[in-house]
Amino acid sequence: MTSPVDTSVEPGPEALGRLTFNCPLSSPRGYALIEELGLVHGARVGDLGCGWAELLLRALERIPGTTGEGIDLDEAGLERGRRNALERGLAARVTLEPGDAGAWTARIGAFDALLCVGSSHALGGTEQALVAVRRMLRQDGRALFGEGFWTTPPTPAALAALGVARDDLTDLDGLVARAEAAGLRALSVDAATQDEWDEFHAMSQAGLRDAARAAGTQGAQIEQLAEQRQAGYVDGYRGVLGFAYLVLAAA
């Protein structure tokens, strides 16, 4: 039996360094989703809980003349995004702001396109996030909403590994219904494949190992965290938790 993980130990930025996106998303799917947003020259794109804003940067690269704003509490992630923007010649077209995503909810109709991928927790949960997205989106705009859902009824092991309650998420039909209740309609509904999930988990684990090596005397605690997450995925929520990509417009 292993000892409890010391939750006061936080992995450094190396823990996310192997990831392209901080969600189970392949590059081909990412570009396909960008195309579905229908961006045009001059469009203003927002990214709630942007992290290092990789999808936002790719959208700006893809569509000349677009501008973007992202907000996140993780300063290390924002710094990574700013470096990437500078290296890719996008620094003049994007602003990555430190702060709580909830600070943007008063910006009614501020964006032609809005990204909220794996960030609903920053806005109080799925339903509250969808309401906020609708409020911030222009009437003819589109949003990409990425959220977890149950592919099958969650087991106690899955709930324990994820640290959530069963009712925190719904099945995929329930997620679409929540979007409709918020005044949005789904233009497309897609979900991460098991290969995307496995790649995401593998790169997350590799990043934790990198963070453990960089942490010196605290490396053992991070290694233990990696083992705990490995068990939680394999024996808990693999094949139970899905991740949906909804392209949404105002109803």
pLDDT for residue 90 is more than 60: yes
Nearest CA among 18, 52, 76 for reference residue 226: 18
Q: Is the pLDDT higher at 112 or at 3?
A: 112
The domain segmentation of the chain, as residue ranges, is 13-250
CATH number for 13-250: choose from 3.40.50.300, 3.40.50.150, 3.90.1150.10, 3.40.630.30. 3.40.50.150
Strand partners, 70: 47, 96
CA 212, chain centre distance (Å): 24
pTM of the model: 0.94
Cβ neighbours around 99 below 10 Å, total: 11
Q: Which residues contact 87 (CB under 8 A, 6 or more apart)?
A: none
Mean pLDDT of 67-72: 98
Q: Is the pLDDT of residue 2 over 60?
A: no
What's the chain's average pLDDT?
Answer: 95
Backbone angles phi, psi at 151, to 5 degrees: -80, -20
Residue 18: band (very low, low, confident or very high) from pLDDT cuts 50, 70, 90? very high
Count CA atoms closer than 13 A to 18's CA, side-chain side.
15
Which run of H or of E encompasses 97? strand 94-98
* pLDDT tens string 44-60: 999 999 999 999 999 99
Answer whether residue 4 shows pLDDT above 80. no
pLDDT at 194: 98
At residue 10, the pLDDT reads 81
**How many angstroms separate the CA atoms of 118 and 131, rounded?**
15
Between β-strands 241-250 and 137-150, what pairing exists: parallel, antiparallel or unpaired? antiparallel
Residues 162-189, mean pLDDT to the nearest whole number: 97
CA 222, CA 238: separation in Å to the nearest integer?
22
Decide if 213 contacts 138 (C-beta within 8 A).
no
Q: What is the pLDDT of residue 1?
A: 29
pLDDT > 70? residue 20: yes
Percentage of the chain beyond pLDDT 90 is 94
- Indicate the SS3 state at residue 47: strand
- What is the rounded end-to-end Cα distance, in angstroms, of the chain? 53
Kindly calculate the radius of gyration of the chain based on its CA atoms and give it in whole angstroms.
18
Q: Is the pLDDT of residue 6 over 70?
A: no
pLDDT, one tens digit per residue, over 92-107 is 999 999 999 999 999 9
**Averaged pLDDT for residues 196-210:** 97
Model confidence at 3, pLDDT cuts 50, 70, 90, reads very low
**What value does the mean pLDDT take over residues 188-195?**
98
Rounded to whole angstroms, how far apart are CA atoms 172 and 241? 11
> Closest Cα to residue 46, out of 133, 146, 175?
133
Q: Are the beta carbons of 146 and 117 closer than 8 angstroms? A: yes
pLDDT at residue 8, as a whole number = 57
In the structure encoding, which two tokens stand for residue 36, read together?
A: 């579905």
What pLDDT is attached to residue 217? 87
